[in-house]
Amino acid sequence: MNMPLAADAVHQRLTRRQARFADWRLAVKAIFGFWAIYTITVVARAFLSSDPATILLNKVLTLVVGLALTGLLYVAIATFAPGASMRRKAVVAGIGSLVASATLAGTLVLSEGSLKTSREEFRFQAREGFVVVQKGDQVRIERNAADPVVVTMPRLQDLKQHDQFRVAADTAVVWLFFFAAWSAVYLAAVSQRQALDLQRRAADAESAAQLAQVRALRYQVNPHFLFNTLNSLSSLVISNRPEEAEAMILKLSNFFRTSLSLDPTADVSLAEEIELQRLYLEIEKVRFPRRLRVEIDVPDSLSGARLPALILQPIVENAIKYGLGNTRDKVTLRIMAEEPLPGRLRIEISNFGGTALKAPRQAGTPTGTKVGLANVAQRLGARFGRSAGIEHGPMAEGGYKVALTLPVTRHDG
């Protein structure tokens, strides 16, 4: 039984969400690294004063709000530019930095009245001969032979709205450079990681393709397959059915010629991959003319989708081997492709119909299929990374299903 579309859509959304925040560890390191540097500078400045405790206490709000805003800035980049080009990520980061700096500046201006007054005192000699002493929001001007003049500076809340906005804007400009610097460091780290990941995936893809080529050649010249095919040809000749024997020889030669001519390191279209499986299944249908039924449902809109060459061969071969090998009844092998969500390709290969397939002992993964499925999963991961995957398991009505999910990519994309 096919997975309901709604459940599959939920699964795809969860997968996309996980992929968006796959680099959260890198982001956390960058966030705490930047704010650790800020904290070190604040602590160093505080202990140069006569009242370090008050200075440090007043900076706690800046640190907490700044950490939260930097985390939200990462969430914005991951949400609005997942898997996008660096240019789009930079645009989102720039807009996010503007919003974050304005928010932090506004928070600091609004909270200015709740900050503790520092006991730190600044004293300097003015050019006019006066001694100016500043402590907290008070300024005392000491004059020779005269009483000192004490001036209390107004708090931000006492200023006009225009002046408050100007102070907030000046503060926002300062913090804009901080958030922009964090964004630049984070995006540079992401770019480097992507470049290294592409190199690794290219090496893995080449290695996996070479391994798949060896395995595909082993499948193609499988002694049992050749023996059964030649035995079927012999039966056709003995029964005086030369036309059918000739047709089977042509199918066998077409299968070998097509499969051997494929470059395992390159992608092929879904139509080309399905055509190769048709050739293979036509040979198997000669061996099992009354017991094998094939259904292929691939819409024309997906025929140009690209996928690794020979990716379906081990799955189809397992479906024949373990589907028909466990029953004497008729078995249907179905290959279906669909686009359940925009930009996502899902290919299902299933076999069902044999009574033995419904037995409890046959409900699990058939013995011997793990190597083929592991190879398919390895090649998908090397080619598409975390955006592709494989699911497999028994179906409720009996039989077994393997489903591949991968991005829809075409030759021009």
Instruction: Give the tens place of pLDDT for each residue, 356-381.
Output: 444 444 433 444 445 678 878 888 88
Cβ neighbour number for residue 58 with a 10 Å cutoff = 19
Tokens of 37: 């540097």
> What's the pLDDT score for residue 3?
47
Spatial neighbors of 341 by CB under 8 A, at least 6 apart, are: 9, 12
Cα–Cα distance measured from residue 366 to residue 55, given in angstroms and rounded to the nearest whole number: 68
In a domain, 337, yes or no: yes
In a domain, 298, yes or no: yes
Same-domain pairing of 105 and 139? no
Beta bridge partners, 392, equal 402
Find the CATH number of the domain harbouring 341. Answer: 3.30.565.10
In a domain, 213, yes or no: no
Q: Quick check: 46 pLDDT over 70?
A: yes
Tell me the average pLDDT across 59-83: 90
Q: Quick check: 146 pLDDT over 80?
A: no
Amino acid (1-letter code) at residue 358: K
Q: How many domains does the chain have?
A: 3
> Directed axis angle between helix 52-80 and helix 161-220, to 10°?
50
In a domain, 205, yes or no: no
> What's the pLDDT score for residue 258?
78
User: CA nearest 350: which of 383, 322, 372, 325?
Assistant: 322
Tokens of 126: 């003015």
Q: What is the largest CA-CA distance in the chain?
A: 134
8 A C-beta contact, residue 225 and residue 318: no
Tell me the average pLDDT across 278-304: 89
8 A C-beta contact, residue 78 and residue 20: yes
CA distances from 18 to 222, 272, 353 (A): 41, 32, 37
Buried b (16+ CB within 10 A) or exposed e, 89-107: bbebbeebbebbbbbbbeb
Would you give the distance in Å from CA 212 to the centre of its chain?
A: 25
Beta bridge partners, 335, equal 296, 349
Whole-model pTM: value is: 0.48
Same-domain pairing of 129 and 170? no
Beta bridge partners, 344, equal 407
> What's the pLDDT score for residue 220?
47
SS3 70: helix
> By CB neighbour count within 10 A (0-12 exposed, 13-18 middle, 19+ buried), where does 243 fall?
exposed
In a domain, 34, yes or no: yes
Measured in degrees and rounded to the nearest 5, phi and psi for residue 12 equal: -65, -40
User: CA nearest 404: which of 221, 300, 274?
Assistant: 274
In a domain, 215, yes or no: no
Tokens of 29: 């390191």
Same-domain pairing of 322 and 277? yes
Same-domain pairing of 374 and 306? yes
Same-domain pairing of 104 and 245? no
Which residue bears the tokens 């419904």?
358
Q: Using a pLDDT cut of 90, give the percent of the chain over it.
A: 30
Same-domain pairing of 369 and 227? yes
Tell me the average pLDDT across 278-293: 86
Instruction: Look at residues 152, 173, 204 and tell me which one is the last residue of a structural domain.
Output: 152
Tokens of 180: 């922009």
**Residue 22 domain boundaries:** 5-118+155-195
In a domain, 413, yes or no: no
Same-domain pairing of 48 and 70? yes
Q: Using a pLDDT cut of 70, give the percent of the chain over it.
A: 83
Q: Quick check: 147 pLDDT over 80?
A: no
Same-domain pairing of 148 and 247? no
pLDDT digits (tens, 9 = 90+) for 79-136: 888 766 788 889 999 999 999 999 999 998 888 878 777 777 778 787 777 888 777 7
Same-domain pairing of 252 and 125? no
SS3 356: helix
Same-domain pairing of 163 and 287? no
Cα–Cα distance measured from residue 207 to residue 119, given in angstroms and rounded to the nearest whole number: 68
Same-domain pairing of 65 and 165? yes
Tell me the average pLDDT across 279-284: 86
Cα–Cα distance measured from residue 78 to residue 72, given in angstroms and rounded to the nearest whole number: 10
Q: Quick check: 219 pLDDT over 60?
A: no
Tokens of 28: 């956390």
Same-domain pairing of 171 and 261? no
In a domain, 326, yes or no: yes
